[in-house]
Amino acid sequence: MKPRLFLVAGGSASGKTTVVQEILKHTSDADVVIIKHDDYYHNQDHLSKAQRRKINYDHPSSLDNDLLYEHLLMLLEGKTIEKPVYDFVENTRSTTTEIIKPKPIIIVEGILILQNERIRSLSNMNIFVELDDDTRFIRRLKRDIEERGRTMDLVIKQYLSTVKPMFHKHIKPTKRYADVIIPNDPKHDVAVDLVATKIKDILQTKS
């Protein structure tokens, strides 16, 4: 059986990864591979760190969707890929890569994953994780300071100049492509169970 592709979108720090982990509780690691769209940010080692900080990482052009599309085609054909790994501290791709083998279920998550029409054309189910702007900003501020070595002033400046306007221009509109919208709050269990049931049905058909 050909692998099935699930796309998970939502604003920065909306809880996409948390929702995916909730879905995985209903499945096996042997059946699911998770790919982060973030790893497909363009390589920028030819730029200085100061220049890298000026890049608008919330704009579709910041991502190498041609490479992701090629890799997804390969995985859906049962082929192994060598996936880039992005270094958020250095703001460019790492020198290491990751070997990804195809599995029955492929989940790709990222803020702009539903924006690209070619990638959407490969998908079996589109999911959008929703969370209010204030909570997402607080989560992003905490994450970027603790995990990505950013200062508070830098995080706030980036949020106001690119993250917030790009969310309303490029990310939020992709909600219309979603088959399932998951609110990231205690009431999301029904939506998560719906997706998990779909995955279980696919895996049972495979077996």
Give the number of other Cβ atoms within 10 Å of residue 106's Cβ. 23
Digit-coded pLDDT (tens) for 153-184: 999 998 999 999 999 999 999 999 999 998 87
59 exposure class (CB count in 10 Å sphere: 0-12, 13-18, 19+) = middle
Q: What percentage of the chain has pLDDT greater than the value 90? A: 64
d(CA 126, CA 106) in angstroms, rounded, equals 12
Domain region containing 146: 4-196
The reply to whether 203 falls in a domain is no
- Tell whether the model's pLDDT for residue 132 goes beyond 90: no
Q: Give the residue with greater pLDDT, 52 vs 191.
A: 52
Give all strands of the β-sheet with 32-36 in edge-to-edge order: 32-36, 105-109, 4-10, 125-130, 180-183
Q: Domain for residue 206, yes or no?
A: no
Rg (C-alpha) for the chain, rounded Å, is 17
Burial of 15-52, coded b for 16+ CB within 10 Å and e otherwise, reads bbeebbebbbeebeeebbbbbbbbbbbbebeeeeeeee
Cα–Cα distance, 106 to 68 (Å, whole number): 13
Whether 44 is in a domain gets the answer: yes
Q: How confident is the model at residue 186 (pLDDT cuts 50, 70, 90)?
A: low
Helix (H, G, I), strand (E, B) or coil at 48: coil
Residue 206, pLDDT > 70, answer no
Residue 194 is which amino acid?
Answer: L
- The CATH number of the domain holding residue 83 is 3.40.50.300
Strand ranges (E), 91-153? 92-100, 105-109, 125-130
Structure tokens at 10: 């939502």
Categorize the per-residue pLDDT at 81 as very low, low, confident or very high, splitting at 50, 70 and 90.
very high
Residue 151 lies in a domain: yes
Indicate the number of domains in the chain: 1
pLDDT tens digit sequence for 139-158? 989 998 998 888 999 999 98
* Domain annotation covers residue 46: yes
Instruction: Tell me the range of 120-124, 135-139, 163-167 where mean pLDDT is highest.
Output: 120-124
As a whole number, mean pLDDT of residues 124-147 equals 91
Tokens of 69: 């599309």
